[in-house]
C-alpha cells in the first residue's frame, strides 16, 4: 500500500465518525490529531516497497522440533539422559527456539568436537531455524556428526530429509537408499525409513515437493 490510499482511508474514517457520532469540536480535533499522528508514523517508518514475509507458526515450530527429537532418539536407540547440553537444547527445540538450541549445542561441540549427538542435534536445530532449508552451517554440522560416528544412522537420515525438503530430492534419496541398504535386518527404524523412501519416490515421480516437516 502507498501513503495516498491510507490518507484517503483516514479521511473517510474521520468523516464517518463526524457523521455517525456527532461530538464537540475539541473531540473531533483530537480524533483528527490521532489519525494524522498515525499517518506521520507510517510516512516515517513504513516501507510499502518491501515484499511480504511469512511468519513462523510457533506451535508448528514446536511440533517440528519435538518430532526431530523423537526421531533422533529413535535412530540412536537412546534418550538424552546424562547429556545436560542435549536436555537443555531439546527443551528449547520443543518450544521452537531453534537459534537458542543451536547456541547451546555450539558450546557443547566446542568442548567436545567428537560429540556426534550434539553435532546432529545442532544440524536439526539449524534446519529448523531456516524453516526446513539446508543451510551451509547445517550441512557442516551433519558432516561432523557423520565423521564422529560413521555407522550412526542419524546423520544420513536427517541430511537426506533436509536435502529433500530443500528441493534436492535425488540427493536425499541416494542417502536414504544407501542407509537402507546397510541397515540391520532388525533395526527398529528400518520400516519407517522404507515408508519414507517410498513417499519420496512418489514425490520424485510426480515432480512435487515434500512438505517441510520432521
CATH of the domain at 70: 1.25.40.10
Mean pLDDT confidence for 199-203: 93
How many independent structural domains does the chain possess?
Answer: 2
Structure-model confidence comparison of residues 144 and 66, the more confident one: 144
Residues 14 and 28: beta-carbon distance below 8 Å? yes
Evaluate whether residue 50 is within a structural domain: no
Residues 95 and 181 placed together within one structural domain of the fold: yes
- The SS3 assignment for 189 reads coil
CA dist 32 and 48 (Å) reads 23
The DSSP 8-state label assigned to residue 211 in this structure reads P
> Do 87 and 36 sit in the same domain of this protein?
no
Q: Where are the beta strands (DSSP E) in 94-202?
A: none
Range of the domain at 202: 58-206
pLDDT of the residue at 84 = 81
Q: Are residues 151 and 202 in the same domain?
A: yes
Same domain (yes/no): 83, 175: yes
**In terms of Cα–Cα distance, which of 127, 131, 123, 118 is closest to 87?**
118
C-alpha cell at 87: 536436555
| Mean pLDDT value of segment 39-59 | 50
Cβ atoms of residues 105 and 112 within 8 Å: no
pLDDT at 110 over 90: yes
Of the candidate ranges 90-94, 113-117, 127-131, 140-144, the one whose mean pLDDT is the lowest: 90-94
- For the entire predicted model, the pTM comes to 0.66
* Same domain, residue pair 62 and 41: no
Mean per-residue pLDDT of the chain = 78
Amino acid at each position: 500500500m502507498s501513503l495516498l490510499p491510507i490518507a484517503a482511508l483516514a479521511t473517510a474514517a474521520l468523516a464517518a465518525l463526524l457523521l455517525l457520532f456527532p461530538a464537540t469540536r475539541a473531540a473531533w480535533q483530537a480524533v483528527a490529531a490521532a489519525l494524522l499522528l498515525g499517518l506521520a508514523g507510517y510516512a516515517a517508518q513504513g516501507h510499502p516497497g518491501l515484499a511480504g514475509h511469512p511468519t513462523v507458526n510457533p506451535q508448528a515450530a514446536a511440533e517440528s522440533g519435538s518430532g526431530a527429537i523423537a526421531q533422533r532418539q529413535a535412530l540412536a536407540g537412546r534418550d538424552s539422559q546424562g547429556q545436560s547440553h542435549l536436555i537443555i537444547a531439546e527443551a528449547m527445540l520443543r518450544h521452537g527456539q531453534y537459534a537458542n538450541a543451536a547456541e547451546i549445542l555450539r558450546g557443547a561441540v566446542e568442548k567436545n568436537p567428537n560429540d556426534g549427538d550434539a553435532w546432529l542435534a545442532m544440524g536439526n536445530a539449524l534446519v529448523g531455524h531456516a524453516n526446513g532449508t539446508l543451510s551451509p552451517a547445517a550441512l557442516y554440522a551433519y558432516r561432523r556428526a557423520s565423521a564422529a560416528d560413521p555407522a550412526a544412522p542419524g546423520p544420513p537420515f536427517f541430511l537426506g530429509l533436509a536435502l529433500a525438503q530443500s528441493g534436492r530430492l535425488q540427493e536425499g534419496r541416494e542417502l536414504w537408499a544407501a542407509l537402507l541398504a546397510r541397515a540391520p535386518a532388525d533395526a527398529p527404524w528400518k520400516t519407517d525409513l522404507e515408508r519414507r523412501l517410498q513417499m519420496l519416490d512418489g514425490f520424485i515421480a510426480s515432480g512435487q515437493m515434500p512438505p517441510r516437516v520432521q
